[in-house]
Amino acid sequence: MKFLQLCTIGVLIVIAYFIWPTSNSIEKLLPRSERNPWELITLKSSNGSLVEIVAIHQASPSGLTFSLVPSAPLIGSNKLKKITTPWANINTKSMSPYRELYSAYKRALDGEKVPLKIGPHFYPIDDVLRTIREIQPRVEVYYSDGSSNYYNFRTAKRSTLSTKISGWSMSNAEKSRVIEAWSESRDKLEQLSYRRDVILFINRIDRGIKAVDSIQPKSRVFSITAAKNIHELVGQYHTY
């Protein structure tokens, strides 16, 4: 009888070893955040206040190291400020939708220092640039010899935008399509407008949108400045 009991206990221990939730398995069971990579991380403090975070740098036994949205652009001596707060100041349940963060928190409780790069501050703008370049304006250009074709802003060299072009045309529907898509991409970067590279990129997008908006259907007027602004945004790097 005792032998059977010992066997039963042994079997239960083996089963528990394989099914007992580890930190990794707990992480998989947590709800996944629907946050887009360019959106702020929102946590709750222990008193229930919402805290919007732009970057999380480290989880350690002493607490969480993070950065709030800067009040001014990070230009010159203005750097992203890091704050470390004890875990007792954070409503740890509010971390559960962020699986990587919650996993780091559990590891920190076990004594680890876990370096992190979580939050929109680390979002690469190349992702937005690729999306913008997928939306190529369909613009017909007219040449002084009477010929015309659709200009490929992606592959053509900027040097081909010459005075030989006497006019260009873009339908209102096409204009709306491009402006709407580019504006949507621009909105993704609004939370990051404190970053110098993002500021410069937003300016490029704005110049491109203004240039597209200036093109009229069947226009016999051509603006080389507007054309270069579009090309600067959607052309390949090596072409300008």
Per DSSP, the residues of 107-145 read HHHTT--EEEEESGGG--THHHHHHHHTS---EEEEETT
Average pLDDT over residues 52-66: 96
Which letter does DSSP use for residue 180 in this model? Answer: H
Q: What is the pLDDT at residue 224? A: 86
The predicted model scores a pTM of: 0.76
* Token code pair at residue 65: 């190291």
What pLDDT score does 163 carry?
Answer: 56
Beta-bridged to residue 115, according to DSSP, are 58
* The pair of three-digit structure tokens given for residue 140, joined into one six-digit string: 């017909």
Confidence (pLDDT) at 180: 96
Residue with tokens 């621009």: 186
Please state the length of the chain: 240
- Please name every residue paired with 43 in a beta bridge, in sequence order, or none if there are none: 51
Are the CB atoms for 117 and 66 separated by under 8 Å?
A: no
Tell me the β-bridge partners of 100: none
Residues 88-126 have pLDDT tens digits of 999 999 999 999 999 999 999 999 999 999 999 999 888
For the chain, which residues make up each domain, given as ranges?
21-122, 126-239
**73-87, 117-131, 193-207, 223-237: range with lowest mean pLDDT:** 223-237
Over the range 148-181, which residues count as b (16 or more CB within 10 Å of their CB) and which as e? eeebebeeeeeeebeeebebbbbeeebbeebbee
- Per the rule left: phi > 0, alpha: psi between -120 and 50, beta: everything else, 111 is left
What residues form DSSP beta bridges with 42?
Answer: 52
Q: What is the pLDDT of residue 1?
A: 53
Q: Residue 184 — pLDDT band, cuts 50, 70, 90?
A: very high
Banded model confidence at residue 157, pLDDT cuts 50, 70, 90:
low
Q: Compute the distance between CA of residue 142 and CA of residue 175 in angstroms, rounded to an integer.
A: 18
Phi-psi group of 159: left, alpha or beta (phi > 0 → left; psi -120 to 50 → alpha; rest → beta): alpha
pLDDT band at residue 208 under the 50/70/90 scheme: very high
When comparing pLDDT for 9 and 117, which is higher?
117
